[in-house]
A and B are shown apart, each in its own frame.
Chain A
């Protein structure tokens, strides 16, 4: 489970040769207050969009680097999963988007005061981006200041 052996041969070969971007040095921001006082933002790379949003463009070579803001009070049953990869089984997420975009679970954890509050917007990007330069250099710098404005303390990142 969670292993290269899950993938078809062409993906195993690709992933073995892929030059992953190494984070060095590893940045580290300790929490400044208890979890129950922190504001959380969810960032998913499941290619989730709302029914009103423009779908990700799967024709873009290297992957669509755009981003979608999804309200944290969204009804998860209305979300649409559009991840472009055919390397994994999409059945579970389409049955229950909480599997990769756990808006319901986070509301429960907030209600139980495990976490302080949920940011009003979550972020959705496309996964399997093989050319992440545009995402890193263009998209993220556009979004990052918003997180400061939102006074987010924690980012929970969920790939698929």
Chain B
């Protein structure tokens, strides 16, 4: 997709696989498999994860492969990120 001019971002659960495959932009989430957006019927958390993933697309400081951790916040700032490349 990237080679066809489409910017991609993937939400990832398994760090060892992500580091081996090396997608261009990956948001690592601290959730168990089957729960990539955190929790069912939790729109706020799901939106926070999605927003964090989308923000990787606009982060001018990232270089490929960019692996960034999502950190859930319990405040109004729910969903911050740390670059862990």
Contacts and interface: CB of A to CB of B under 8 A. Distances in A.
A99 B35 contact: yes
A153 B7 contact: yes
State the majority secondary structure of interface residues on A: loop
A1 B32 contact: yes
A102 B46 contact: yes
B4 interface: yes
Nearest to A24: B22
A87 B33 contact: yes
State the majority secondary structure of interface residues on B: loop
Size bracket, chain A contacts: 35 or more
B37 interface: yes
A21 B21 contact: yes
Interface in B6-49: 6-17, 20-24, 28-41, 43, 46-47
B2 interface: yes
Nearest to B12: A159
A88 B36 contact: no
A29 B5 contact: yes
A90 interface: yes
